[in-house]
Amino acid sequence: MKKDFLTLYGMQKSEFDEIMNRSERLKLFNKKGIEHLSLKGRSLGMIFDKSSTRTRISFEVGMHQMGGLAIFLSRRDIQLGRGETVRDTARVISRYLDCVMIRTFGQDIVDEFAEYASIPVINGLTDLLHPCQIAADLFTIKEKKGSCEGITVAYIGDGNNMANSWINAATVLPFRLALACPEGYDPDKAILDRGIKEAKAEVTLFRTPEEAVRNADVIYTDVWASMGQESEQEDRAKIFRHFQVNEKLLQHAKRDAIIMHCLPAHRGEEITADVIDGPRSVVIDEAENRLHVQKAIIEILLEGGI
Ligand code: CP
Ligand code: NVA
């Protein structure tokens, strides 16, 4: 049966370790300039309903580096944008491609796509989840801290797709997750409840960022208004103003805590420029790792794994 990469929830730890190990190897090949053409003749379709810098480039370049082809498919340019059904699109493109990545709004669209596609489907971000980002984030943490296990990650800000995916990851790996979200902007309730119950270590939701960053090894934040929420930007800026990652907040954290952000960032909103551009920030390495980790994910999926 074909495998998809739609969410981290339900993944076995051994499967996750395989992604991490393979990412490490692929990164090494990349750094040493060793050719690795494992996907010669294979093709990835990339359907985008939302903007992207990192996801598009890292998938496209990743396929190229492995000897394969990536095809950028904006919804505007394919018949999906003119009302062709997800079901027909999924069935038809399965006859041309070996794998497809989708970035869209509803998780239901990705799920439906996966149901009808006979090729592996990768979730490249929905309103609910962003599993590729978290896989790259965990790889980055492993690089910087030696392991993702036993550490504490503080997530500060909106209970959005990033927060939800962090919670899912905490049901796979034993790290503590301390979230701080303003009331009314919690992560998805079902995901949070399940995460608290099924956490390998601990998932806790706080109402102040100071509580969440205490003892954190990683401080993570994301935009206050995600793609599709642009009209709420002004209101959210007021509601989230006490949830900014700034120097003052870092005084409550461990001295060696690293700063992460999935990017794009809004300096002066969810994070200050001195923090995101400061010595503790690993955001550019984190962005680079999207490339290596997604190459690993595609390779494993095309071998029938995950
Ligand atoms: N972090 C991330 O997914 O970035 P893009 O929106 O640029 O792809
Ligand atoms: N929460 C952000 C993540 C962007 C990578 C968004 O959905 O816009």
Give tens-digit pLDDT for 236-268: 999 999 999 999 999 999 999 999 999 999 999
Atom of ligand 1 nearest to the CA of 227: 6
Ligand nearest to the CA of 230: 2
Q: How confident is the model at residue 304 (pLDDT cuts 50, 70, 90)?
A: confident
- Residue whose Cα lies nearest atom 2 of ligand 2: it is 226
Whether residue 54 is found in the same domain as residue 89: yes
Q: Is the dihedral of CA 14, 174, 166, 221 positive or negative?
A: negative
pLDDT at residue 126 is higher than 90? yes
Whether residue 94 is found in the same domain as residue 118: yes
- Residue 30 falls inside a structural domain: yes
User: Which one, of 297, 233, 287, lies nearest residue 262 by Cα?
Assistant: 287
- Residue whose Cα lies nearest atom 6 of ligand 1: it is 52
Ligand 2 centroid to residue 38 C-alpha, Å: 31
Distances (CA, A) of 118 to 38, 161, 178, 188, 260: 21, 26, 38, 29, 36
Atom of ligand 2 nearest to the CA of 222: 1
What's the rounded mean pLDDT across residues 104-114? 98
pLDDT at 139: 98
Whether residue 223 is found in the same domain as residue 157: yes
For residues 280 and 282, give the distance between their C-alpha atoms in angstroms, rounded to a whole number: 6
Whether residue 126 is found in the same domain as residue 138: no
| CATH number, domain with residue 109 | 3.40.50.1370
Whether residue 72 is found in the same domain as residue 162: no
Ligand nearest to the CA of 126: 2
- Residue whose Cα lies nearest atom 3 of ligand 2: it is 226
- Residue 53 falls inside a structural domain: yes
| 54 CB within 6 A, ligand 1 | yes
The alpha helices in 179-282, defined as continuous H runs, are 189-198, 209-213, 233-239, 247-250, 273-276
pTM across the whole model: 0.98
- Residue 268 tokens read as 């002066």
Whether residue 291 is found in the same domain as residue 205: no
pLDDT at residue 1 is higher than 90? no
pLDDT at residue 210 is higher than 70? yes
Q: How confident is the model at residue 147 (pLDDT cuts 50, 70, 90)?
A: very high
Q: How many domains does the chain have?
A: 2
Whether residue 197 is found in the same domain as residue 207: yes
What's the rounded mean pLDDT across residues 43-64? 98
DSSP 188: P
- Residue whose Cα lies nearest atom 1 of ligand 2: it is 226
In sequence order, the 6+-apart residues with CB closer than 8 A to the CB of 62 are: 70, 291, 294, 295, 298
Whether residue 202 is found in the same domain as residue 230: yes
- Residue 112 falls inside a structural domain: yes
pLDDT at residue 68 is higher than 80? yes
For residues 274 and 271, give the distance between their C-alpha atoms in angstroms, rounded to a whole number: 9
pLDDT at 306: 59
| 123 CB within 6 A, ligand 1 | no
Whether residue 281 is found in the same domain as residue 295: no
> Are 92 and 65 in contact, with CB atoms under 8 Å apart?
no
Show the domain range for 97. 13-130+287-302
pLDDT at 305: 65
Name all residues whose Cβ lies below 6 A of ligand 2: 125, 130, 160-162, 222-223, 226-227, 262
| 147 CB within 6 A, ligand 1 | no
Whether residue 109 is found in the same domain as residue 191: no
Whether residue 204 is found in the same domain as residue 254: yes
Pairing of strands 176-180, 99-103: unpaired
Whether residue 143 is found in the same domain as residue 95: no
- Residue 1 falls inside a structural domain: no
| 53 CB within 6 A, ligand 1 | yes
> Are 212 and 155 in contact, with CB atoms under 8 Å apart?
yes
- Residue 3 falls inside a structural domain: no
Q: How confident is the model at residue 36 (pLDDT cuts 50, 70, 90)?
A: very high
| 261 CB within 6 A, ligand 1 | no
- Residue 124 tokens read as 């490249």
For residues 21 and 212, give the distance between their C-alpha atoms in angstroms, rounded to a whole number: 30
Ligand 1 centroid to residue 131 C-alpha, Å: 12
Q: Is the dihedral of CA 56, 19, 106, 271 positive or negative?
A: negative
- Residue 191 falls inside a structural domain: yes
